[in-house]
Amino acid sequence: MGSAMSDTAVEVDGLRKAFGTVLALDGLSFRVPAGSVLGLLGPNGSGKTTTVSILSTALRPDAGRATIGGLDVVADAARVRRVIGFAGQFAAVDPNLTGRENLTLIGRLSRLGRARARVRAGELLGSFGLTAAADRLVRTYSGGMRRRLDLAAALLHRPPVLFLDEPTTGLDPESRFALWDSVRDLSLSGTTVLLTTQYLEEADTLADQVVIIAAGKVAGTGTPAQLKARHGTVLFDLGFAGPSIAETACSVLAAGGYQPDRDGAGVRVRSAAGSAALTGVLRALEGRAPDPVSVAVREPTLDDVFRSLTEGEG
């Protein structure tokens, strides 16, 4: 690939796609820097899977264009298929073959020689923790094992760009964490990953950049930290010695321009200015109300961001 991959692995420009009267994508644009993980985050029906289907050449856009490593997904579809790996929610593996047979067969289909395919299958079974189950029929595998085998299959031809469409939907937490580790390792080895997910925690854990889509358009974009700083609010929980003291502190803070909420002996203050605003809150109380006996800070989550960006979406 060399320089052809340049520094942008995936470029999406003004994609539109309608299914009858339903507009699935409505002018979607974003780019994925080479070697990074981009999380495409949105509720079901937001257009995530349609996007990945277009990028993996399974679906043609009505308008707009997309390139993978500089190759157009419509005009250069056959070449695009050679540089991408695709692992979806529905495993592409045959349940009536063993794990090893599946990978060796896929290796042969991607034109590796017989010996190379066998070696590569063995390597991948090892790196996905499937060596012990390698010679069992895939239909005896758990959901998590099948998903890891599916990921191994997508990586057989060492694609520079990997698409993961909701890779952990329906998995138990342990399998999900195992898959996250695999994605992290891939990213560290220089693979560009585009991951669609409806799990905010997944995007927060894995993605360098997040694109939030709602109703086929980009609703927000940035690193998880930027999105949290921009759209999330930090919560300060101040605990006081008793409800009446909390009440006093509450009125002092309200007079100081904060919008506190009291719950028993606790006062909660929201701040869009990040955790640094805590000193201002404490200074506002100084000399005017007794000191809090406890202070807790809750950083915003991507859940908060998501809610603020997608509220009002019908």
Which helix H or strand E contains 205, and what residues bound it?
Answer: helix 200-206
- Cα 305 versus chain centre, distance: 14
Q: 291: Cβ–Cβ under 8 A, 6 or more apart, which residues? A: 282, 285
Taking only the tens place, the pLDDT of each residue in 194-221 is: 999 988 889 999 999 999 998 899 999 9
Considering the domain delimited by 230-301, tell me its CATH architecture.
2-Layer Sandwich (3.30)
- CA–CA distances in Å: residue 271 to residues 116, 238, 300, 305, 308: 57, 13, 10, 14, 15
Domain 2-221 has CATH 3.30.450.20: no
Go through the chain and tell me how many residues it has. Answer: 314
At position 74, the amino acid (one-letter code) is V
Taking only the tens place, the pLDDT of each residue in 294-310 is: 999 988 888 888 877 87
Taking only the tens place, the pLDDT of each residue in 64-121 is: 999 999 999 999 999 999 999 998 766 678 999 999 999 999 888 878 888 999 999 9
Neighbours of 188 (CB within 10 A): 9
Q: Answer yes or no: are the C-beta atoms of 41 and 223 closer than 8 Å.
A: no
* H, E, C per residue of 7-27: CEEEEEEEEEEEECCEEEEEE
Confidence of residue 268 (pLDDT cuts 50, 70, 90): very high
Domain layout of the chain by residue ranges = 2-221, 230-301
Taking only the tens place, the pLDDT of each residue in 17-64 is: 999 999 999 999 999 999 999 999 988 888 999 999 999 999 999 999
Two domains, one topology: 2-221 and 230-301: no
Q: What is the pTM of this model?
A: 0.78
Q: Answer yes or no: are the C-beta atoms of 280 and 13 closer than 8 Å.
A: no
